[in-house]
Amino acid sequence: MAKLKTRNEIRFILNGEDIALTTVAPEETLLDWLRLNRSLRGTKEGCAEGDCGACTVLVGRLSAGRLVYESVNACIRFLGSLDGTHVVTVEHLRGDGEKLHPVQQAMVDFHGSQCGFCTPGFVMSLYALWMRSPEPSDAAIEKALQGNLCRCTGYDAIVRAARAISSYGKAAKDPLAAERKAITAKLAAMKDDSRVEIGSGKQRLIVPANADDLASVLDKEPGATIVAGSTDVGLWVTKHMRDISPVIFIGNLDGLCTISENKGVISIGAGVTYSDAFSILAKRIPTLGPLFDRIGGEQVRNMGTIGGNIANGSPIGDTPPPLIALGAQLTLRRGKKRRTIPLEDFFIAYGKQDRQPGEFVEAVHVSVPAKGKKFAVYKITKRRDEDITAALGAFYLTLAKDGTVADVRIAYGGMAATPKRAFGVEKALLGKPWTEATVETAMAEYAKDFTPLTDMRASAEYRALAAKNLLLRFFVETTGTKAPFQVSRYEAA
């Protein structure tokens, strides 16, 4: 391997200005930098944990050479992770001459603001949506706004504004669209295949040049904090004031962001965001589409990664249960050594995963369910969207020709200290005819498989009851009923 260049500055574009920073604290957030260092105070702090969206800005990045602008939460986005991007804040929006931008004018005309504090965030989320989809459906509007809280308007005025934006101007004529080529070229030029290292001692951050470089960095710095989307680690800093140095930023890293399919097995690099994975997963494993739509808000999905969701080992991560049900495999890497294990074996106990020092999650591999297999995943939360799981059940069923259960894998989140299989339930189903009577018998096994906790999201009793009822829902779904078997906001597409 050719020796890598090392660079000691972060380079990106802020609105219309080229930025190069040689001093960046590992835990410095984009929001604080914008507000305190740049006095760009249109971007607000509402919660400092990526839930309210008042701090929404756009980050443009090259994804496989193509420039994409995505909404992100500046409050939990680390400044050091912005190398090679174009950061766009509300101050950059403008219409012709003195006029407001179409998104802004629509919001004004439809009375989309009251107190106005959340408004810049809404404007930025709608801006991202409009550039991508100038005539969005209501479902698309609501999905784009899942990560934006408004306490005044009740949202209807904002949605009315969102529907009307294109009557105020053409997305194709937007300044960002017009500057697309130039920005793409600039960002491409910034990618000089260097490793970025800033700071020293207890204030150190590293952006590896690519996945191989990450492997060598981590080999030397086994105790470093690995940050992909920072949707979790961001809170370590903003809420718990934890030191994360030395930190390695791996978001958008070459060699870690590919998603590919080979012989029915989809391999997802650890740096693939939910949003990037959605396009392929929702097509190849359609059951996962609606689940992905309920993970975080749009900003979190644009930042957060499936790899991070696995690596942080949370018992309430939304992707491990369905991946475990599907029999996914996980590849871990240290230096040049790789090992691949069943995903479910990665989760050892609460806060403990099978990851050795210096090792990192490189990819997860999941088989596309064969024809005839039944697969479902159900997430239960207090609020439908942008809420953390109370209980989540994933079911993968193979029926024999005689209608008995040939194979079944059931995995849950929120029901134990780790994502966990319902082995007792599976056993009670295996070999039995797939009937409601069998299901009812198996439902009794839940009490042996799980002893859930009571917390602010749900009581143990509710978790236990709802979790086992999900098996009944799964059964009803597999009967191919035309009657509704769950509530939904939108008719199935």
Partner 1 sequence: MTKHTPNLKAQKISGGVATDQRHDSAHKHVSGTAVYIDDMPEPAGTLHGCLGLCTATHATITKMDLSAVRAAPGVVDVLTAKDVPGENDISPTGRHDEPVLADGKVQFYGQPIFCVIAETREQARRATRLAKVEYKELPFVTDIGDLDPRKDKLVTPPLTLKRGDAAAAIKAAPRRLKGQMRVGGQEHFYLEGHIAMAVPGEDEDVTIYSSTQHPSEVQHMVSHALGVPSNAITVEIRRMGGGFGGKETQGNQFAALAAIAAKKHHRAVKIRPDRDDDMIATGKRHDFLVDYEVGFDDDGNILGVDFMFAARCGFSSDLSGPVTDRALFHCDNTYFWPAVHAQSAPLYTNTVSNTAFRGFGGPQGMVGAERVIDEVAFAVGKDPLEIRKQNFYGTSDRNITPYHQTVEDNIIHRIVAELEASSDYTRRRRVIEAFNANSRFIKRGLALTPVKFGISFTATHYNQAGALVHVYTDGSVHLNHGGTEMGQGLYLKVAQVVAEEFQIDLDQVKITATTTGKVPNTSATAASSGSDLNGMAAQNGARQIKDRLTDFAAEKYQVPRDQVVFLPNRVRIGNQEIAFADLVKQAYMARIQLSAAGFYKTPKIHWNRDKGQGRPFYYFAYGASCSEVSVDTLTGEYVVERTDILHETGRSLNRAIDLGQIEGGFIQGMGWLTTEELWWDGKGRLRTHAPSTYKIPLASDRPKIFNVTLADWPEASEPTVHRSKAVGEPPFPLGMSVLHALSDAAASVADHKVCPRLDAPATPERVLMAIERLRAKTRV
In the window 76-105, what residues touch partner 1 (CB under 8 A)?
89-91, 93, 100, 103-105
Residues 235-274 that bind partner 1 (CB under 8 A): 238-239, 241
For partner 1 (CB under 8 A), the number of binding residues is 89
- Window contacting partner 1 (CB under 8 A); options: 221-229, 358-366, 367-375, 485-493: 485-493
Q: What is the 3-state secondary structure (H, E, C) of the chain?
A: CCCCEEECCEEEEECCEEEEECCCCCCCEHHHHHHHHCCCCCCCCCCCCCCCCCCEEEEEEEECCEEEEEEEECCCCEHHHCCCCEEECHHHCCCCCCCCCHHHHHHHHCCCCCCCCCHHHHHHHHHHHHHHCCCCCHHHHHHHCCCCCCCCCCCHHHHHHHHHHHHCCCHHHCHHHHCHHHHHHHHHHHCCCEEEEEEECCEEEEECCCHHHHHHHHHHCCCCEEECCCCCHHHHHHCCCCCCCCEEECCCCCCCCCEEEECCEEEEECCCEHHHHHHHHHHHCCCHHHHHCCCCCHHHHHHCEHHHHHHCCCCCCCCHHHHHHCCCEEEEEECCEEEEEEHHHHEEECCEECCCCCCEEEEEEEECCCCCCEEEEEEECCCCCCCCCCEEEEEEEEECCCCEEEEEEEEEECCCCCCEECHHHHHHHCCCECCHHHHHHHHCCHHHHCCCCCECCECHHHHHHHHHHHHHHHHHHHCCCCCCCCCCCCCCC
Q: Which is nearer to partner 1, 194 or 381 (CB)?
A: 381
Min dist CB 1 to partner 1, Å, is 39
**Closer residue to partner 1 (CB): 154 or 286:** 154
The yes or no reply on residue 335 touching partner 1 (CB under 8 A) is no
Closest distance of CB 328 from partner 1, Å: 26
Select the span of 31-39, 63-71, 170-178, 342-350 touching partner 1 (CB under 8 A): 31-39
User: Could you give the string, one character per residue 174-193, with x where binding to partner 1 holds by CB under 8 A and - elsewhere?
Assistant: --------------------
Q: Looking at 14, 43, 195, 230, which residue binds partner 1 (CB under 8 A)?
A: 43
* Binding residue for partner 1, selected from 5, 111, 283, 337, defined by CB under 8 A: 111
Is residue 37 at the binding interface for partner 1, with CB under 8 A as the rule? no
Q: Applying CB under 8 A, does 204 fall inside the site for partner 1?
A: no
Pattern 50-79, partner 1, x by CB under 8 A? -xx-x-------------------------
Instruction: With contacts defined by CB under 8 A, name the span among 32-40, 263-271, 283-291, 366-374 that binds partner 1.
Output: 32-40
Binds partner 1 (CB under 8 A): choice among 80, 84, 120, 358: 120
Q: Which is nearer to partner 1, 93 or 330 (CB)?
A: 93
148 is a contact residue toward partner 1 (CB under 8 A): yes
x/- contact string, 423-462, with partner 1 (CB under 8 A)? --------------------------------xxxxx-xx
Should residue 114 be labelled a site residue for partner 1 when binding is judged by CB under 8 A? yes
Restricted to residues 342-401, the positions that interact with partner 1 (CB under 8 A) are 378, 380-388, 390
